[in-house]
Chains A and B, each alone.
Chain A
Amino acid sequence: MSDQDLVARARAGDQEAFARLAEENQNRVYSLALRLVGDREEAADLAQEAFLKAWQGLKSFQGESSFATWIYRLTTNVCIDYLRRQKRRQGVETAVSLDDEDSGWAEPADWDQDPQRKLEQSERGRALARAMEQLPDHQRRALVLREISGLSYQEIGQALELDLGTVKSRIARARLALRKILLLDGNFSEAAPSNPTNEKK
């Protein structure tokens, strides 16, 4: 049964159908929440909250996007709300952001040594996931909102209460930091400059 059918059934009150939707999307939703908030327990709670909101909001879900996209959006919003609440509790963002802006750029070095692409997609995905875990929270958060949630710089600025310049530099720094981590782990072969798929970029 397609997601569309499941959504239609769930909207009619079929909890079984919604349970299927939850099962099918649970990993992506949980992963997104985890990468945004960085805490497993909170992430699980927030991800469940997103599904609950989806259930309650099914009526207003017009199907302009896929259910997966919609639940992503809900999850992003739930997590942003959480992060904001947390920020209020902790007061203004502290030294972390200063560190970010003052610590200088990660040195882009060694790109001549990149061996040719040899890892399978899944391995690259796994390596990237591991590298993401090593990113500082504030960098990972901004990059996740961009790369996974698909928010624009402006939306990210609003979500994280940052000015546009900070968003730009934070995302750039996050990418350079990721690249550095992958290089150190010997996992950056996939981005070898010699790769033809990248050549045209």
Chain B
Amino acid sequence: MVCQRYYELISQRLDGELSEDEQQELESHLAVCPSCRALAQQLSGLHEDFSDLEEVPAPEGFAQGVMDRIRMEETKKVIPLFRRPQFKAAAGLAACLVLCAGLYGAGQLDLPGQNVTAQSGGTAAASQPQDALPQYKGSEETISADSEAEPAVPELSGYSFAEAEEGTGDSTTSEIPVPRVYGSDSPSWLYSEAENSLPQQPKEEEHADRIQLPEDVTDGQPVQNDQGDELPEAAENAPGSTTEVTGVNVGQENEVRSFQNEQCLSVTYGATPQAPSAVILGSVQSLTDYLAAFPEDDLSVLSQAYDETYFTSGCLLAVLVETESGSSSVVIQEDGLSAGQVVLEENRPQAGTCDMAAWLIVAEVGTEFTDGEELEVSVVTP
């Protein structure tokens, strides 16, 4: 049938997907073909009817199911930690660290640095109502006394704390403060989530954990560690666990984080006083604002690629650097991204030009980063 070709064009016209040539071709055909005209009208009516398309009612209890899933997501990173073998392993490891620290402290009775730390943590706790765990208060006194037998005490109380909580985890989910021991920067293997996520994958849960931390976790008390993370109430509850937390946090500073789809875009040199810099963009707004600093450059490839939907499950890392040569290539070093730091690798050709150049390197990262977070940049030349 000679008209068949026009059926497709009629359909395309409804969607505004006709080229000018096609448009003209169709118009001339419709002018002479009443049956295609009629068809065009019918399909147009059909197209309009989609705005009245009847909805299929969601199954009974659908919205309730949504809320249940949300609550499950919210709590699953809080309770089940205790039941995980990894947690017990970590608790054991922490206990060992405490023991070592304790032994070290015991060996230096003249300068009991560890004990002082523990005691100040305990004092902070004492000023807060902690009626649930009086036994820890007791051991706090023990630890502040300079007995030689004492190094074992923080270890025992620290460990038994974890075990004791395990039994009550179910009923008092929201009140249990302990998981925050590991903060949002914990190694990802600590979060053995149900989805079997691989370590180093960007994890939304971790992010959620961070943003939902109640403001009053620390109750305004100066219980922050050197990374600025909120110290867990466990540190306040269990004497000696200050050491434990520090011990766990030690390895995190170098925790490698993953990134993907790295792009290196050339930007106008000289308009980049902020180089070198690296910042996390966590929303369309942040991206737009960031790109506004490059009025000379067409970076629409980024604004087109990353929309609201992308930012629901990921962030962008934007690194701005300048190089002495436009022939250089700059990439993020493999394993070069960690919490708070990004290492770039500049490959300078032996006979490179001496024009200065500026580069915007953008890579997809997970939501363990926060919008607006700034990272330290260092550039190495192998």
Mark A residues whose CB is within 8 Å of B.
13, 15, 18-19, 22-23, 26-31, 34-35, 40, 44, 47-49, 51-57, 59-62, 64, 70, 73-74, 77, 105, 108, 111-112, 114, 121-122, 124-126, 128-129, 132, 146-148, 152-153, 168-169, 171-172, 175-176, 178-179, 182, 188, 190-193, 195, 197-199, 201
Contacts and interface: CB of A to CB of B under 8 A. Distances in A.
Interface in B268-309: 282-285, 308-309
Nearest to B310: A60
A61 B55 contact: no
Q: Chain B's interface: helix, strand, loop or mixed, by majority?
A: helix
A154 to B, nearest CB: 9
Interface of B: 1, 4, 7-8, 10-12, 14-15, 17, 35, 37-50, 52-59, 62-63, 65-67, 69-71, 73, 204, 208, 211-212, 282-285, 308-309, 311-313, 371
Contacts of B37: 193
Nearest to A194: B41
Contacts, number: 189
A73 B42 contact: no
B49 A19 contact: no
Nearest to A191: B45
Contact of A175 (B43, B67, B283, B309): B43
B42 A26 contact: no
B67 A122 contact: no
B42 A191 contact: yes
Contacts of A153: 12, 15, 17
Contacts of B67: 15, 18-19, 22
A172 B56 contact: no
Nearest to A131: B46
B333 to A, nearest CB: 28
20 contacts: A22-B63, A30-B59, A51-B70, A56-B208, A57-B311, A62-B285, A105-B7, A108-B35, A111-B35, A125-B52, A129-B54, A171-B15, A175-B14, A175-B43, A175-B47, A176-B7, A178-B46, A179-B39, A179-B42, A197-B48
A160 B1 CA distance: 29
A52 B123 CA distance: 41
B54 A147 contact: no
